[in-house]
Amino acid sequence: MTLATGTTPPGVSGEQQAARWVQQMFASIAPKYDFINHFLSFNIDRSWRQALVQQLSPVLASPAARVLDLCCGTGDVLLDLQRVAASRIMGADFCHPMLVSAQYKARQKGFEAPLLEADALQLPLARDTLDAITISFGFRNLANYAEGLKELHRVLRPGGMLLILEFSHPPARFTRAAYGVYSRVFLPLIGRIVSGSAEAYSYLPDSIRKFPRADELSEKMSNAGFIDTRFELMTGGIAALHTGIKSSDRGLIVPG
């Protein structure tokens, strides 16, 4: 099987078109994103995000650390990080309406979130600046996974940590079958009724189906120069939390 190089939304050709499609799709569902997200996952997504925040706690304890929550969307992870961290937390996303929601939620909690409107494949940040990058349910949507990892590697400092929380593929046959029916039948139906967008919620299961397995993503991380790459399957493998460290040895970076 050929591994997907990046997301391929329906009817698009080329990476630029794919990125534009993703950006517009999230803009169209931004006001309802949070509600649908928690509703469709029976709130389990909250515990997945909590696991990510937990993994990062040693870094978050340092006031000098700089952390980027990339593809921050409406800011669920960003706000969780802000709540527990002593470090400086910043969010970035390329979809303006998602960032507007994130800022609104931050203000509701009494603070201003440092937000960057930027493409994950071309971050306006210097090399070796960040101590950690978190990216939850955003990586799958990138138009080029290898280029994305290369860019994240560039902006992390040597020894910096990358955490990717993403949907995955349940290894057990029963869980896979049950989840397959849920994601192909119920999820698009409920998503369409609540959000009014048929394409967003048929894209979701389709993009998950095409996304690399956890071991394949882990290998891509290693190929991009990350060391100590690990992953933990969650909820029977419906989601996976990946971690990796930017090696101090620049010679390890392998393009592609």
138 binds ligand SAM (CB under 6 A): yes
Specify the residue, 131 or 151, whose C-beta has the smaller distance to ligand SAM: 151
Q: Which of 21, 94, 145, 167 binds ligand SAM (CB under 6 A)?
A: 94
167 binds ligand SAM (CB under 6 A): no
Binding residues for ligand SAM, rule CB under 6 A, total: 21
Binding window for ligand SAM (CB under 6 A); candidates: 107-115, 138-146, 182-190, 224-232: 138-146
Amino acid found at 89: I
- Angle, helices 33-40 vs 15-29, to 10°: value is 90
CB 60 within 8 A of CB 84: yes
Scan residues 11-50 and list those touching ligand SAM (CB under 6 A): 19, 22-23, 26
Tokens of 30: 């931004």
CB 100 within 8 A of CB 30: yes
Would strands 156-167 and 130-136 be described as parallel, antiparallel, or unpaired?
Answer: parallel
Q: Which of 87, 136, 183, 243 binds ligand SAM (CB under 6 A)?
A: 136
Question: Closest distance between ligand SAM and the C-beta of residue 16, in Å?
Answer: 11
Segment holding 146, helix H or strand E = helix 145-155
Question: Closest distance between ligand SAM and the C-beta of residue 137, in Å?
Answer: 4
How many degrees, rounded to 5, is the angle at CA 82 between CA 67 and CA 235? Answer: 85
Q: Which of 36, 67, 81, 93 binds ligand SAM (CB under 6 A)?
A: 93
Integer Cα distance of 157 and 160 in angstroms: 5
* CA-based max dimension of the chain: 51
Q: Which residues in this chain contact ligand SAM in the complex, by CB under 6 A? A: 19, 22-23, 26, 71-73, 76-77, 93-95, 98, 119-121, 136-138, 141-142
